[in-house]
Chain A
Amino acid sequence: MSEVSLQGDTVYEFERLPLEPVATGTNLLVTGPTLGGTRELLLRLLLGDDAVLVITADTSARETLADYERVGGEGPSERVRVVDCSQDDDADLGEFVSAVGSPGDLTGIGIEYAGQYESVYARGYDTARTGIYTLTPLLVYNDDVRPVFRFVNTVTSRIRTADGLGVCAIDPDAHEDRVLGSIAQSFDGRVEVRDTDDGVEIRVRGLPDQPREWTAVPALR
């Protein structure tokens, strides 16, 4: 089970990753290079028996789902759903995948995401893991950063109040530190990712009982 009772509290667990369970309602910002282990780490953070909702802006829904299955996840289903704003012209993947025309259309992404969330909830899943890969195109397509704050606040708030788990990736090298710092404000903790000669390493800021020093992630190598 991905979800267990630990001292009476419900938590989200992460199999095969050097991370301790986190409380429901937690939002994590994952920062790392787009081409590094960031993407696989994010997909692995979504593994479990909960519902899974992915907002994908960098790669198509088809590619995202294929990669998710490769790390051990399930294909599109009542439980696994995708909002695709990558602008890759995927064929219709059915009701479990929604398409939004552009990563700049934050209104459309927000409504499609809420619609998919309500659908899994209506099917009886009361815990859901949400992955956003990545926030970078959403920022690049919006000259004004304020709507992105509104979008991030809206999504993280839904996750927090619905006892979900949020995992949102961003490429720190694509944005100024001051923008990244302001965006990070909406998240409970930050998982930093780096690629080294010995493999992918992570460290965590802002959450107790998590690795603060660079820690190898054997599952990603």
Chain B
Amino acid sequence: MVCADADDERRSATVTALESAGFDVLAASSVSAVEAALDDDVDCVVTAFRFPDGDGFDVVGTVRDRRPDCACVFFTSASPSELPRGGRDQIVEYVPQSVPDARDRLVDVVEGATAEATQAAYPLPENETERLAAVRAYDVAELSAEATFERLTALMTTHFDIDVAFVGLVDEHEERFVACTGANWRTLAREDSICTHTILTDEEMVVEDTHEDPRFAEVDRLDELNIRSYAGARITDEEGNALGAVCCIDDEPRSYTRAELDDLRRFADEVEEQLLLRRRLGGGGE
């Protein structure tokens, strides 16, 4: 985690409290220092409010640009009414330094905020911790399944007459495209990914027009990728943990017949079975 405070003494005391609680802490004294400290392992940023080069909301903006799921906690002597208003969507946790044993409270809140993706801008599956462990158990590269999946997604684009077909695994922070025909996508942040919603249901998920669906109409990234319609079927492991989804994408609004969705389910079943068989053959790490 990162702990930011322009005041050396206060920052040092906060870092010590967090380290005593078992956190790995990088100290920062400015907004730009927070930006420099951010890496893929940071999952929480505790920040004071005033810095020489900006304020706490600038820190939140910087953090969320790089790490959309990262928990942000304001730890400041300013009361809520003294804080200027940030962006309406810069939601953070807040612990005032004025409460008794403030650093103990901070540790409690940080422990809660880092236990799971608590500031995620998308719905989380109930069993997210077990689900993530299940996803990690499948190393697709090691399973040598990519070529098989590429063949399947190529078949799907022809079969459904669509622009793009892919197999995506939903990791902790992003969806990872392990096979993709019709586009060169590698990853997509979970808050921008429709599959984030698909993994919540055992039914096929259809978005006939992203512009008409309130969950996705404001997601600019989908427009940038020319994703206007979507059909997806989730893939699970033997225990029922959702690993990701097999999906159809087009740049025009379109609907899917029941027969087409049954076919999509068959493609997804094929992917599930390939993953399972290859893991049983010992290709992938547990």
Contact = CB atoms under 8 A, between A and B. Distances in A.
Nearest to B73: A114
A111 B80 contact: yes
A107 B215 contact: no
Contacts of A107: 57, 85-92
A106 B100 CA distance: 27
B120 A161 contact: no
A98 interface: yes
A99 B13 CA distance: 32
B126 to A, nearest CB: 8
Which applies to chain A's interface (DSSP): helix, strand, loop or mixed?
A: helix
- Interface range, A side: 35 or more
B89 to A, nearest CB: 3
Interface in B198-215: 200, 213-215
Which applies to chain B's interface (DSSP): helix, strand, loop or mixed?
A: loop
Contacts of A185: 123-126, 200
Interface stretch (B111-119, B148-156, B228-236, B274-282): B111-119
B160 interface: no
A7 B116 CA distance: 28
Interface string B74-109: 100001110101111111111110011000010011
Nearest to A105: B88
Contacts of B88: 102, 104-108, 142, 147
A118 B95 contact: yes
Contact of A98 (B80, B100, B126): B80
Nearest to B125: A185
Contacts of B108: 161-162
Given A105-B85, A110-B94, A176 B109 contact: no
Interface of B: 57, 74, 79-81, 83, 85-96, 99-100, 105, 108-109, 111-113, 115-126, 191, 197, 200, 213-215, 217-219
The 6 closest A-B pairs by CB, nearest first: A161-B112, A147-B89, A157-B118, A185-B123, A144-B218, A146-B121
